[in-house]
Amino acid sequence: MDQSVAIQETLADGEYCIIAVQGMLCEGDSRQSRLLGLVRYRLEHGGQEHALFLYTHRRMAITGDDVSLDQIVPVSRDFTLEEVSPDGELYILGSDVTVQLDTAELSLMFQLPFGSHTRMFLQEVARACPGFDPATPDPEFRWLSRYRCTQPQSQLPTPHGWNSAPGTWPGCARIGGGRYPSRNGLWGLEEARSGAGSVLFGGGAVEQTGLRLAEVAREGGPLWGRSGRRGRRDEEVEEAGREMSAAAGSRERDSAGSSHFDDLRPNGKGLFVDQSSWGQDKPEDLLPRQNKSKSEITDMVRSSTITVSDKAHILSMQKFGLRDTLVKSELVQREEDYTYIQNFRFFVGTYNVNGQSPKECLRPWLRHSVEAPDVYCVGFQELDLSKEAFFFQDTPKEEEWFKAVSDCLHPGAKYAKIKLIRLVGIMLLLYVKEEHAAYVSEVEAETVGTGIMGRMRFHNTSICVVNSHLAAHTEECERRNQDYKDICSRMQFCQVDPGLPPLTISKHDVILWLGDLNYRIEELDVEKVKKLIEEKAFQTLYAYDQLKTQVAAKAVFEGFTEGELTFQPTYKYDTGSDDWDTSEKCRAPAWCDRILWKGKNITQLSYQSHMALKTSDHKPVSSVFDIGVKVRNEELYRKTLEEIVRSLDKMENANIPSVSLSKREFCFQNVKYMQLQVESFTIHNGQVPCRFEFINKPDEQSYCKQWLNANPSRGFLLPDSTIEIELELFVNKSTATKLNSNEDKIEDILVLHLDRGKDYFLSVSGNYLPSCFGSPIHTLCYMKEPILDLPLETIRELTLRPLWTEDDGSQLENPMEIPKELWMMVDYLYRNAVQQEDLFQQPGLRSEFEHVRDCLDTGMIDTLSASNHSVAEALLLFLESLPEPVICYSAYHNCLECSGNYTASKQVISTLPTFHKNVFNYLMAFLQELLKNSAKNHLDENILASIFGSLLLRNPAGHQKLEMVEKKKAQEFIHQFLCNSP
């Protein structure tokens, strides 16, 4: 969790904690926990200074009361923080990052947790270093004088359970030889995880754009990737609908350690370059270093740094221009000229552990093959089922299962952990043999609500591994299909050039998909299924397998292959036995746990379950593959590269690039709220390589309006090549209101610019169908007819009508007390869903949401036919799309101030505009009805307050992320009304 919020409480005005990381202070054999916070202070003349604040702390620092300032280290010109490798340690599986902090006065060593957050911390510290520019005045750090204690407070007791360094006092911090007091206040807690960064730096600032995961580099080059964390409700639903599960953050863990930096120096632009070849740009400089030592290989596997020691990978940086881009593109096209296929042994395993800790040795699963695998891909589901794991994204079982796997890898080889990725209960582990580590690069990760994906480049082959846990229950086959499609559409990696389209799952040479896919046996009763299993008639049983029928119908996993099922179903067993489920539900056995693959040169050697393991109600499954990987022949690579460079030398001329467009006018008809429309066209290049980009028009901030997107928006074209561009139009809560009121229209002009060439103009037009989604509450109350039956001018007039003039004797008499669309959804749920389990917590189907929207906008409520979850999802989206929330922005801060005081809270509600007050009371009455059925629907006041608090109460600065203290107060405000009768 981001403990910088706790540090912020202790700081004075003008001081800001940028980022914090928890680590271990190493002094000899002693290990003491410290919280390290990077603090920025803005000077009056406009500059800024930084210092590293070190705190002793309780186990998890949530507020300022949980920390005590121990020491302050100014980030001065002599400040360095360097990642080091402890003496004698060449390789430690899953080791932490060891860093050395040095100034003229002190030297400290810390161990920081491996992972993206640590890299982000190190990157921010790098940026904070003041640099060596003699024209820049030396930092003076006068602002730190406020922390100096006049007398050492040696009598202050250390609270029980706190970590305090010998010879220090809580509330004081050392700067040089002095001690400085700490201040406490009140603040909140906000969860945030991000990834990236450089590690080696001195006084010079190192600038890097974007937050990136560290890589395991083949050549030591800048192979960058990006990751992000997924929230409970994504901001938009461009591709995959909404996740109704609560906030599920991902933890991404990477290998960490020291790197080889001989002859490397920072160049001041975010790159580390080899000074021995600085300024040279010969073709031979594109060739990689050869013959890495074993220690170099090990360090690269453990490294969380970005290094550049040759120009082959510098090509991936935009600054090196068109020629280098063309060289790189030609090398990709001619890959077959300098690579050959070599088989490597892959072990792929999946295990749903049902929230259990490892209770038995995993060797029967992980070591069943005689030959040691070259690569391990091990996936878990339901790692931890506790609420703590769900809400705090942390669980001790991650470390337990990681250790259990690491201890049981094949004894015939030493392995390096390439990646550990976890999203709540789903975890993926990737290992390679240590001798292969130098040939692994571009290691990245991505997560969505139902799956996680790791990718890497092994030699010259891109490999993607997906671990997913799809929707449960026999009848939820369609939801499983949607989960699969959501994973495919939403899991993507942004490339180095942001204008290039992201890498999706399908853009990899090899795809390995594993997990608890949850497809069941249908059309057979339980006894018949068990009888066929007893007879080992697996192929007969397989004919009734849902996954088989869905693949045959091309609904999911098109192009994937699965081996023959020669083992009995892996679910559901009584825990600790091989007996089928004897619980009250007595679920039918099913092959829930599966492994599929897609790609060329893949041979499956085995596919089996492992009955010896009885920890869970599932049995683990494994598959061993021989996968043909493209390996580079260095002599042929050199020859190919020289041919490309010679060819470019001949081709260079002063020709102006020119392209032809298949289409220049685009009309989007009947655009609807949150329903994606796509129009495409192709760009065909002439005989000169060129870059293209959609550029901003004069005085505009973006190349297109907010509801439009071009994919890709920029790129590079080889001679006589073609690329398809998709124009994606998607109206969401941010853009719907102005389109409803006709303040904005589906009209835009795009400018396609060619580098060193001319501009092309594309016309976009269309019509938007107004919707109740994105319309103000008071507007809808005055609409007695469905919105699509009203003239556009009437909709415009009502939408632009001021909120506080609702009772001014308008010609529109007798408005409704609440919007009819809101009543339709709530009435439907009241009649059909008050006992629905997990209401508002499971996502609806996209197609059903579109049906609900159309019914509301046309008033054809009698035709409404959708699942309870889809209608509930529509209700939440409706509330979220309101331009003015139910509790008006003007009342937001008053609500937070009186949360916990029910009388004062009711008074605030009474001051709302009439329509808003009516809606609030109506929703509270409905939610209280749901709570009366909590035994069936499993809802409680806390869950509903958590879901509706952020929808009914929104910060006026809606684009800003709320601190956890504000979220808790908003929930507490709603909680009062759920617990008290009106």
Give the pLDDT confidence score for residue 551 in this predicted structure.
Answer: 96
Q: How many whole angstroms separate alpha carbon 743 and alpha carbon 560?
A: 48
For β-strands 30-42 and 492-493, DSSP reports them as unpaired
Tokens of 104: 């003229």
Closest C-alpha to 321, from 875, 655, 716: 716
Question: Is there a cis peptide before residue 403, judged by omega within 30 degrees of 0?
Answer: no
Closest C-alpha to 766, from 674, 857, 677, 855: 677
Does residue 809 register a pLDDT over 50? no
Does residue 184 register a pLDDT over 60? no
Give the pLDDT confidence score for residue 297 in this predicted structure.
Answer: 30
Give the pLDDT confidence score for residue 877 in this predicted structure.
Answer: 94
Q: Which residue has the higher pLDDT, 420 or 199?
A: 420
Give the pLDDT confidence score for residue 750 in this predicted structure.
Answer: 95
Does residue 842 register a pLDDT over 60? yes
CA distances 249 to 252, 705, 754, Å, are 10, 31, 41
pLDDT in tens, 15-65: 999 999 888 898 887 778 899 999 999 888 778 899 999 998 765 666 787
Q: How many whole angstroms separate alpha carbon 131 and alpha carbon 618?
A: 57
Q: How far is it between the farthest Cα atoms of the chain?
A: 86
E strands, 755-790, are 759-768
Domain 3-130 has CATH 2.70.98.40: no
CA distances 749 to 174, 257, 663, 666, 765, Å, are 60, 51, 14, 10, 9
Judge if pTM exceeds 0.85.
no
pLDDT band of 578, cuts 50, 70, 90: very high
Judge whether 458 and 419 are in contact, CB under 8 Å: no
Does residue 263 register a pLDDT over 70? no
Q: How many whole angstroms separate alpha carbon 493 and alpha carbon 446?
A: 7
241: left (phi over 0), alpha (psi -120 to 50) or beta: left
- What are the phi and psi torsion angles at 243 (to 5°)? -95, 120
How many Cβ atoms from other residues are within 10 Å of residue 12's Cβ?
12
Helix, strand, coil in percent for the chain, rounding step 5: 30, 25, 45
Judge whether 937 and 930 are in contact, CB under 8 Å: yes
pLDDT band of 236, cuts 50, 70, 90: very low
- Range among 238-242, 445-449, 876-880 rated most confident: 876-880
Per-chain mean pLDDT for the chain: 78
Judge whether 580 and 573 are in contact, CB under 8 Å: yes
Closest C-alpha to 659, from 693, 681, 684, 680: 684
pLDDT band of 807, cuts 50, 70, 90: very low
pLDDT band of 279, cuts 50, 70, 90: very low
Tokens of 520: 């069941």
Mean pLDDT score, 541-567:
96
Closest C-alpha to 752, from 695, 825, 810, 711: 695
Tokens of 744: 């904005």
Judge whether 922 and 818 are in contact, CB under 8 Å: yes
Q: How many whole angstroms separate alpha carbon 942 and alpha carbon 387?
A: 13
Buried b (16+ CB within 10 A) or exposed e, 322-349: eebbbbbbbbeebeeebbeeeebbbbbb
Give the pLDDT confidence score for residue 862 in this predicted structure.
Answer: 85
Q: How many whole angstroms separate alpha carbon 133 and alpha carbon 112?
A: 30
Give the pLDDT confidence score for residue 97 in this predicted structure.
Answer: 81
Judge whether 130 and 75 are in contact, CB under 8 Å: yes
Q: How many whole angstroms separate alpha carbon 457 and alpha carbon 216?
A: 9
Superfamily of domain 659-768: Immunoglobulins (2.60.40.10)
Give the pLDDT confidence score for residue 879 in this predicted structure.
Answer: 95
Give the pLDDT confidence score for residue 498 in this predicted structure.
Answer: 56
pLDDT band of 962, cuts 50, 70, 90: low
pLDDT in tens, 672-708: 999 999 999 999 998 888 999 999 988 888 999 999 9
CA distances 868 to 73, 449, 827, 833, Å, are 57, 20, 12, 6
pLDDT band of 389, cuts 50, 70, 90: low
346 three-class SS: strand
Closest C-alpha to 909, from 899, 878, 805, 947: 899
pLDDT in tens, 109-168: 998 876 667 878 888 898 888 865 566 678 889 999 888 653 333 333 333 333 333 333
Q: How many whole angstroms separate alpha carbon 557 and alpha carbon 554?
A: 7
What is the crossing angle of helices 868-881 and 820-832, to 10°?
A: 150
Tokens of 194: 């991000």
Task: List residues bridging with 170 in a β-sheet.
Answer: none
- Range among 246-255, 727-736, 800-809 rated most confident: 727-736
Q: What is the 3-state secondary structure (H, E, C) of 685-749?
A: ECCCCEEEEEECCCCCCCCCCCCEEEECCEEEECCCCEEEEEEEECECCCCHHHHHCCCCCCEEE
Least confident of 541-550, 665-674, 801-810: 801-810
Give the pLDDT confidence score for residue 749 in this predicted structure.
Answer: 94
Give the pLDDT confidence score for residue 502 in this predicted structure.
Answer: 78
Closest C-alpha to 679, from 713, 728, 635, 646: 728
How many residues in the chain? 982
Q: Which residue has the higher pLDDT, 648 or 620?
A: 620
Tokens of 205: 């600032």
pLDDT in tens, 742-788: 999 999 999 999 988 889 999 999 999 999 999 999 999 999 899 99
Does residue 187 register a pLDDT over 60? no
pLDDT band of 177, cuts 50, 70, 90: very low
Q: Which residues contact 28 (CB under 8 A, 6 or more apart)?
A: none
Does residue 374 register a pLDDT over 80? yes
pLDDT in tens, 616-641: 999 999 999 999 999 999 999 999 99
Judge whether 470 and 450 are in contact, CB under 8 Å: yes
Judge whether 355 and 371 are in contact, CB under 8 Å: no
- The DSSP letter of residue 561 is B
Q: Which residue has the higher pLDDT, 806 or 467?
A: 467
Task: List residues bridging with 665 in a β-sheet.
Answer: 763
Residue whose tokens read 């932490």: 96
Judge whether 227 and 444 are in contact, CB under 8 Å: yes
Superfamily of domain 884-981: Rho GTPase activation protein (1.10.555.10)
pLDDT band of 424, cuts 50, 70, 90: confident
Q: Which residues contact 310 (CB under 8 A, 6 or more apart)?
A: 219, 220, 221, 274, 285, 286, 287, 288, 289
Does residue 499 register a pLDDT over 70? no
Tokens of 944: 């509903």
Judge whether 374 and 344 are in contact, CB under 8 Å: yes
- What are the phi and psi torsion angles at 693 (to 5°)? -165, 140
What's the distance, CA 641 to chain centroid? 37
Domain 342-632 has CATH 3.60.10.10: yes
Question: Is there a cis peptide before residue 572, judged by omega within 30 degrees of 0?
Answer: yes
pLDDT band of 443, cuts 50, 70, 90: confident
Give the pLDDT confidence score for residue 660 in this predicted structure.
Answer: 95
Q: How many whole angstroms separate alpha carbon 175 and alpha carbon 72?
A: 5
Residue whose tokens read 């909140």: 188
Give the pLDDT confidence score for residue 595 in this predicted structure.
Answer: 98
Give the pLDDT confidence score for residue 656 in this predicted structure.
Answer: 78
Least confident of 180-194, 420-434, 647-661, 694-708: 180-194
Does residue 655 register a pLDDT over 90? no
Residue whose tokens read 């991505």: 446
Mean pLDDT score, 845-856:
93
pLDDT in tens, 84-95: 865 544 433 335
Q: How many whole angstroms separate alpha carbon 907 and alpha carbon 551?
A: 58
Domain ranges for the chain: 3-130, 342-632, 659-768, 884-981
Closest C-alpha to 124, from 259, 261, 18, 223: 18
Judge whether 951 and 889 are in contact, CB under 8 Å: no
